[in-house]
Structure 1
Amino acid sequence: MHPMLNIAIRAVRQAGSIITKYYEIADSTELKQKGNYDLTNFVEKKAKDQMIDIIFKSYPNHIIFTENDSQIYKDTQKVQWVINALDDNINYMKRLPHFSISIATRVKGRTEVAVVYDPMRNELFYAWRGHGTQLNGYRLRGGTARYLSEAILSTDAIFKVHESNAPSINAFEKLFCRCADFRRSGSVALDLAYVASGRIDGYFAINLQPHDFAAGDLLVREAGGLVTDFSGDNHYFCSGNLVAGNARIVQSILAQIRQR
């Protein structure tokens, strides 16, 4: 196994232990006094600090990016670790047990290692470039849906009516009428892991940040899937707009999104 993959797995598992610990005791008097928002921020920071500490102990000269870091676009010879300690923190705050921890390591602009961990289900998705995607040690292949009419799609689009959300709502309306069904789970990383495992057939999202999808991107591609931007190119790290699934489903989604 790739040495950086070993470290990434160790980091997400230890962060997962922190997150599940506080999830299980969130009803205690001491934690209730913090309030849900403060508790979630406290847990996320604690998990993130643990992950950073584990990575830096093994790779002190590498770079770590968390949410809101834009420097991932810059060319650098240093290895980059893109981490997301709690995705989705709103689900965690509401005690909806669907969230994840993710790490992607990028070398010279390419993602080499990716891990997405669901601590509530103890499901560990991981990929190493050229070696496929696995879930708890079992090899994954993406979904085999051939037509949009039989596909289950997912998105992270916000459907609240607002001028800035118009592109998301327009894309959703076009796809909703043509696909078998839709999901919106709140966790981008888990959605992409589910695409890699065939649990979801396709995914689209607008204006994501790299820490949202960097790990899930490699999971999908190493499971035989396709990830593109809305033009069918690979510039989604800059635009934040992406479509994922097998080749047929991705082409069908793109065709609908491009219609005026």
Structure 2
Amino acid sequence: MSQAIHPMLNIAVKAARNAGAIINRASLDVDLLKVTAKSTNDFVTEVDHAAEAAIIDTILTAYPGHGILAEESGRQRGARHSDYVWIIDPLDGTTNFIHGLPVYCISIALEYRGKIEQAVVYDPTRNDLFMASKGRGAFLNDKRLRVSKRTRLSDSLIGTGFPFRKGDNFQRYLKMFEAVAPHCAGLRRPGSAALDLCYVAAGWYDGFFETGLNPWDIAAGSLMITEAGGLIGNFTGEADFLHQREVVAGTPKVYGQLVQLLSPFTRVIKEDEPAAPPAPAPAATPERKPVRLRKKDVQPEGDEEAD
């Protein structure tokens, strides 16, 4: 970076590198890892827990009064009511990691009074460090990031993520896929939403969309996007996306075109999670709607990408 790194960003970088060292060591013997299924196709390993503990220890040593929101431990550590909250995904792309596919990362963001102010996404397999500070730009290692100059969706490469958990509405996603795919140059699904967002910031993708994501999947990447000159929001183009479980991002023009295509699908997660189990179905009629999943069958938590 061409200017002094903010002290809090510096701590995030240190925490990410500490976690990266743990993950890289474990990647040498993936077959020996203890893997637990949080739910169908949603995995956690002892490496997730060790990396998360290393990140939190590093942060709380420097800032003991700060709050923590972490994927595996939730809010168990840190101050409960601080204006500063660190949002942490210790290993985004766990399923890739378990299979030895080198597409995964560590994501750390600092939220101050509801706004993301610092962000680090570290890819330990490539030693790629994405960093952003609010108002100071986004960087990959020492290179300033800018979103691509593409303005037409038809020329654009778009990242996404497929549903994978029990209870996800795959048919609904296929309709989204069908809405976007014919209008762009290609769709990609590597398996780590945090990296996907950084790829938009770097100009490698021109846009990205996904449903079912949690704050730790997208907090850091969202600042990378805006600091690189891109836009990010929910499917109707509003800035309220962090806790909405839907996100779309891209270059300014591509973002607008994606919102047009995706707005009919907004709030699909909430629609697919009814408040109560369905009543016994009456006798079938031609107009009968498909039976909806009960809330207990839908996994509201869990890392995107098994991740």
- Give TM-score, length-normalised by structure 1: 0.90
* 1:165 Cα offset (Å): 2.7
Aligned to 1:203: 208
Task: Please tell me whether residue 19 in structure 1 is matched to residue 33 in structure 2.
Answer: no
* 1:192 Cα offset (Å): 0.3
Aligned to 2:237: 232
Please say if residues 12 and 51 of structure 1, whose CA atoms lie closer than 8 Å, have aligned partners that are also in contact. Answer: yes
CA distance in 1, matches of 2:179, 2:165: 17
- What's the RMSD between the two structures over aligned residues? 2.3
Query: After superposition, what is the alpha-carbon deviation per residue over 1:27-79, rounded to whole angstroms, capped at 9, x for unaligned?
Result: 5xxx2xx55559961111111111111001000110111127499xxx95520
- Greater gyration radius: 2
Query: Which of residues 56, 60, 77 is equivalent to 1:52?
Result: 56
Please say if residues 125 and 133 of structure 1, whose CA atoms lie closer than 8 Å, have aligned partners that are also in contact. Answer: yes
CA distance in 1, matches of 2:35, 2:49: 14
Aligned to 1:175: 180
SS of alignment partner, residue 30 of structure 2:
coil
Please say if residues 152 and 200 of structure 1, whose CA atoms lie closer than 8 Å, have aligned partners that are also in contact. Answer: yes
Task: Please tell me whether residue 246 in structure 1 is matched to residue 251 in structure 2.
Answer: yes
Please say if residues 206 and 242 of structure 1, whose CA atoms lie closer than 8 Å, have aligned partners that are also in contact. Answer: yes
Give the partner amino acid of 2:263: R
Alignment of 1:33-182 (within 5 A): 34=33, 37=36, 41-67=45-71, 69=74, 77-158=82-163, 164-182=169-187
Give the partner amino acid of 2:9: L
Please say if residues 34 and 45 of structure 2, whose CA atoms lie closer than 8 Å, have aligned partners that are also in contact. Answer: no
Please say if residues 15 and 58 of structure 2, whose CA atoms lie closer than 8 Å, have aligned partners that are also in contact. Answer: yes
* 1:207 Cα offset (Å): 2.0
CA distance in 2, matches of 1:70, 1:58: 18
Task: Please tell me whether residue 189 in structure 1 is matched to residue 194 in structure 2.
Answer: yes
CA gap of 1:40–1:76, structure 2 versus 1, over 3 A, is: closer
Please say if residues 76 and 108 of structure 1, whose CA atoms lie closer than 8 Å, have aligned partners that are also in contact. Answer: no
Give the partner amino acid of 1:99: Y
* 1:255 Cα offset (Å): 1.1
Please say if residues 30 and 98 of structure 2, whose CA atoms lie closer than 8 Å, have aligned partners that are also in contact. Answer: no
SS of alignment partner, residue 126 of structure 1:
strand
Structure 1, unmatched stretches of 5+, are none
Please say if residues 137 and 227 of structure 2, whose CA atoms lie closer than 8 Å, have aligned partners that are also in contact. Answer: yes
Query: After superposition, what is the alpha-carbon deviation per residue over 1:129-181, rounded to whole angstroms, capped at 9, x for unaligned?
Result: 00000000110101111111110001113279977233322111110111000
Question: Identity percentage over the alignment?
Answer: 38
Task: Please tell me whether residue 223 in structure 1 is matched to residue 228 in structure 2.
Answer: yes
Please say if residues 15 and 47 of structure 1, whose CA atoms lie closer than 8 Å, have aligned partners that are also in contact. Answer: yes
When the two structures are aligned, how many residues end up with a matched partner?
252
CA gap of 1:56–1:259, structure 2 versus 1, over 3 A, is: closer
Please say if residues 40 and 92 of structure 1, whose CA atoms lie closer than 8 Å, have aligned partners that are also in contact. Answer: no
CA distance in 1, matches of 2:253, 2:138: 20
SS of alignment partner, residue 239 of structure 1:
coil
CA gap of 1:132–1:63, structure 2 versus 1, over 3 A, is: same
Please say if residues 146 and 248 of structure 1, whose CA atoms lie closer than 8 Å, have aligned partners that are also in contact. Answer: yes
CA gap of 1:173–1:159, structure 2 versus 1, over 3 A, is: farther
* 1:228 Cα offset (Å): 1.0
**Larger % of helix: which?**
1
SS of alignment partner, residue 169 of structure 2:
helix
CA gap of 1:161–1:43, structure 2 versus 1, over 3 A, is: closer
